[in-house]
Amino acid sequence: MSTPYVITPKPTTNDKIYKFEANAFLVQGNSYEFGNIDQAKPSPLAQELFHLPFVKTIFLAQNFVAIEKYDIVSWDMVLEELSKSIENYLNSGRPLIDVPSSKPQNIAVYAESTPNPNTMKFVANRSLVPRRFEYNSIDQCTHAPLAKELFQTSG
């Protein structure tokens, strides 16, 4: 990321919860809530924060991290250090959420015969791209490496 993350702590209507707002998006489309370190397995940042004895719940949303604390400390005692810790973590480049990679799926590509013996048609067993493309020469497929490779192997 070219612009470093900057965290700004902001109080909420609940005095046990503070929001740590970022100057950029943190997560896209989802929000997460973790009530303990075991639930926080998808988030390395949340796991680190749960090592602090006063952290009760962690919320990750579009542009903020919210922390609910136990009453064993006041926000004044931990706010600055907590803000810096979150900021340093985000600027380290480590992931906020570890998204498990999906299991690789095999894709079969096979050739079909056409009425024209000079024309080859290649078909896959699942969609490879969101829409259909047709290339009539190698010059047309500069942005399609698979099509380019097929033209080169067909001689």
pLDDT per position as a tens digit, 116-151: 887 777 777 777 766 777 788 888 887 788 778 877
Q: Where are the domains of the chain?
A: 7-91, 109-154
Torsion angle (degrees, nearest 10) of CA 34, 39, 44, 48 = 70
CATH number of 7-91, picked from 3.30.70.60, 3.30.1370.70, 3.30.420.10, 3.30.43.10:
3.30.1370.70
pLDDT for position 119: 77
CA 70 vs. chain centroid, Å, equals 30
Give 51 or 106, the one with higher predicted confidence: 51
End-to-end CA separation in angstroms for the chain: 44
Cα–Cα distance, 122 to 54 (Å, whole number): 60
User: Residue type at 21?
Assistant: E
Q: What is the pLDDT of residue 130?
A: 67
